[in-house]
Structure 1
Amino acid sequence: MCNTWQSGTRTLRLVQPLDTLGRPIRDLRISVTDRCNFRCTYCMPKTVFGQDYRFMDRKELLSFEELERVARAFVELGVEKIRLTGGEPLLRKEIEQLVARLGTIGGLDLTLTTNASLLARKAEALRDAGLDRVNVSLDSLDDATFRAMNDVDFPVARVLAGIDAAAGVGLAVKVNAVVKRGVNDAGIVQMARHFRRTGHSLRFIEYMDVGATNGWRLDDVVPAGEIVERISAVFPLEPVDAAYRGEVAQRFRYRDGSGEIGVISSVTQPFCGDCTRARISAEGKLFTCLFAVRGTDLRALLRGGANDDELREAIAGVWSRRTDRYSEVRTERTSRAPRIEMSYIGG
């Protein structure tokens, strides 16, 4: 497939790049900040090897203008969906201005992942700016469990209020729950019961070995198949075909027509072969895998005077050399390699 665009007086034509396994770029995750007001133990624990997190200075982050340039370059290379992440993206000052900038890019599915702590006050402005959907992280409906997992004593009720506010202004809502054995897996069916018939998509995510600070162990993983079995025993489920290549979640609908759930099984049933996602970290590095060791510094290109053609060419070159399939080849050697932390790459 090719895209065309104007560059000065020339009309340029670029073949959308495929990586070494024939995978196109379709999805882009942009981390707009490394800061978060939660300290979820699987993502950003309060200390890292005994030290407090060092957050980036504002000048280290890409500006909204720079982020728009990057986004447009990726769209011209085939990206159809952009998700803003963090950290907690709603902590980025005037985030709705970035949404408005990206909202001017035609044909783009624009979403944002949030812990919903600020969503009730921001939902309307985000909708007005052009946001299509929010993905809300909510790991448990049990208040004590949720407060322990976010480790800042934040109540479930305020997250649910944020979800209601988003839905109330017309934003589509997905709810994501990371499941960790012995911590919140007892509430799986409770989550399913609560979100049936709401119209919200509920996704259960296997606890992943991202970064090096969350103390991940395979024994902590609740396999996606077990999650489906637990729910189906109470609310019978049947599988749903994938809607598109690279869809991350395996989807199941309730047989009584009351909605659907999804499970993301990157540990027990890897889906690297269809991965079409690229990620921009909070400091402007391009990563081609969630479990990547190193990234490509786009900030240096942007601030070094690269024009739009040069930016596109650099991105296409990185993608065309991409070989990543970490979850399919996960070994003791690869699992011990240093990796980017979830809070910098945005999940």
Structure 2
Amino acid sequence: MLNSVHSGLLYDNFGRPVNSMRIQLNAICNFHCIFCHMEGTERSMQYMTPEQIENVVAVAASHGVNKIKFTGGEPLLREDILEIVRRTRKHITGNISLTTNGVELPKLAKGLKEAGLDRVNISMHAIDEYNFHFITDTKKNFLPIVKQGIQAARDAGLGPIKINFVLMKNINEDQVDGMIKFCAENDSTLQLIEFEANREKEHSEEYLKYHVPLEPIERRIQKQAMDVEHNPLHNRERYTVKTDYGEVKIEFVKPMRNKDFCKHCTRLRLTADGQFKTCLLRENDYFDIKDMLGDESEIDSMYRKAVEARVPYWR
């Protein structure tokens, strides 16, 4: 059965502590990336209010959650994003971060920092405008604005900045060295992400078309590394590589058939419409709290059930 120790910190039945939460704020975006999974949710939904989000965060914090990441869609399209961050900061003393495509950062970075945001992950999946435009599937090429957003985040102190780069066969797999150079020049960590799918889609045309294993690249970086740190989330390494353009940190996110990845997952998800979700890759693992967002005792009960229901996807 579920047990609680260390000031309310909850562990699932596989001994994994839940100390972080990934909160989806919306399901709309000004990009239409070809690999987007929209955090495993539908695009049409009614979003939680800032007060409702705060109620859930308060419950999670009472159980030892001290790390929050906001996602979307594109979370910076929420007009009340600064209020959401401020309300969250009242309960979280640890790291609050946000994943964004960077387009809104030039005008919002400073306000986000003042509201209590610590850092950002910025999605930039190509170094050149042609492939960037192809991947994001937009009428306008936003790459120059994304680069402005990265600079705005640096100026505001939203660091360390991580650049998310989903590796895709025959599209951007030859741009890894270019991204390393870019991140070294822009004082950012490069996060190389494996194109993923659940078991049902693992042999789909899309997966076979785009998936590239990260191991060969990681072995090369491993040989070049001057230092290695350990990121406890998903038990992954962070390599420091010296380049002609300065030092750069590189992480590899390898979820596919990775038992170690799941074994060290410490995260519970919350969808934009108010449902706990135990795993991105599962489809029937929702715990609906939409009708109880004003009652912290009911949220607490459902939170416990969701934590107890967590099962490693790859095991």
Output the TM-score relative to the length of structure 1.
Answer: 0.80
- Equivalent in the alignment of 1:226: 216
Q: Which runs of 5+ in 1 are unaligned?
A: 4-14, 46-52, 330-347
Summarize the alignment of residues 230-241 of structure 1 with structure 2, pairs less than 5 Å apart.
Answer: 236-238=224-226, 240-241=228-229
Alpha-carbon deviation of 1:309?
2.5
- Equivalent in the alignment of 1:296: 287
Letter in 2 for 1:264: V
- Equivalent in the alignment of 1:199: 187
- Equivalent in the alignment of 1:70: 56
Of 193, 197, 203, the match for 1:209: 197
Alpha carbons of structure 1 residues 231 and 145: separation in structure 2 relative to 1, 3 Å: farther
- Equivalent in the alignment of 2:306: 318
Alpha-carbon deviation of 1:230?
5.3
Of 128, 135, 142, the match for 1:149: 135
Alpha carbons of structure 1 residues 24 and 216: separation in structure 2 relative to 1, 3 Å: farther
Q: Is the 8 A contact 2:25 2:272 kept in 1?
A: yes
- Paired with 1:105 and 1:215, the residues of 2 have a C-alpha distance of 44
- Equivalent in the alignment of 1:258: 247
Letter in 2 for 1:216: E
Alpha-carbon deviation of 1:94?
2.2
Task: Answer yes or no: is 1:276 the counterpart of 2:262.
Answer: no
Summarize the alignment of residues 1-347 of structure 1 with structure 2, pairs less than 5 Å apart.
Answer: 1-3=5-7, 15-43=8-36, 55-56=43-44, 60-152=46-138, 153-172=140-159, 173-209=161-197, 216-218=206-208, 220-229=210-219, 236-238=224-226, 240-243=228-231, 245-247=232-234, 249-255=236-242, 258-267=247-256, 269-270=258-259, 271-294=261-284, 295-302=286-293, 307-323=295-311, 325-326=312-313, 328-329=314-315
Q: Is the 8 A contact 2:21 2:267 kept in 1?
A: yes
Letter in 2 for 1:209: A
Letter in 2 for 1:189: D
Alpha carbons of structure 1 residues 296 and 44: separation in structure 2 relative to 1, 3 Å: closer
Alpha-carbon deviation of 1:229?
4.3
- Paired with 1:28 and 1:95, the residues of 2 have a C-alpha distance of 17
Q: Is the 8 A contact 1:133 1:171 kept in 2?
A: yes
Q: Is the 8 A contact 1:77 1:312 kept in 2?
A: no
Q: Is the 8 A contact 2:193 2:252 kept in 1?
A: yes
Alpha-carbon deviation of 1:197?
5.0
Alpha-carbon deviation of 1:16?
2.5
Secondary structure of 2:247's partner?
coil
Q: Is the 8 A contact 1:209 1:216 kept in 2?
A: no
Letter in 2 for 1:86: G
- Paired with 1:293 and 1:55, the residues of 2 have a C-alpha distance of 15
Q: Which moved more, 1:150-159 or 1:78-87?
A: 150-159
Q: Is the 8 A contact 1:73 1:308 kept in 2?
A: yes
Query: Over the residues paired in the alignment, what is the CA RMSD in angstroms?
Result: 2.5
Alpha-carbon deviation of 1:199?
2.6
Secondary structure of 1:259's partner?
strand
- Paired with 1:149 and 1:242, the residues of 2 have a C-alpha distance of 31
Write out per-residue CA displacement over residues 85-120 of structure 1, whole angstroms, 9 at most, x where no aligned residue. 000001111211111111122413111100011111
Alpha-carbon deviation of 1:242?
1.2
Write out per-residue CA displacement over residues 52-78 of structure 1, whole angstroms, 9 at most, x where no aligned residue. x97435xx2111100000011111111
Alpha carbons of structure 1 residues 137 and 81: separation in structure 2 relative to 1, 3 Å: same
Q: Which runs of 5+ in 2 are unaligned?
A: none
Q: Which moved more, 1:36-45 or 1:25-34?
A: 36-45
Alpha carbons of structure 1 residues 268 and 310: separation in structure 2 relative to 1, 3 Å: closer
Write out per-residue CA displacement over residues 230-252 of structure 1, whole angstroms, 9 at most, x where no aligned residue. 5568xx22562414x33464311
Same amino acid, percent of matched pairs: 30
Q: Is the 8 A contact 2:275 2:290 kept in 1?
A: yes
Alpha carbons of structure 1 residues 290 and 55: separation in structure 2 relative to 1, 3 Å: closer
Letter in 2 for 1:22: G
Secondary structure of 2:252's partner?
strand
Ranges of 4+ aligned residues in structure 1 off by more than 4 Å: 229-233
Write out per-residue CA displacement over residues 1-23 of structure 1, whole angstroms, 9 at most, x where no aligned residue. 343xxxxxxxxxxx432111001
Secondary structure of 1:111's partner?
strand
Q: Is the 8 A contact 2:226 2:240 kept in 1?
A: yes
- Paired with 2:42 and 2:249, the residues of 1 have a C-alpha distance of 40
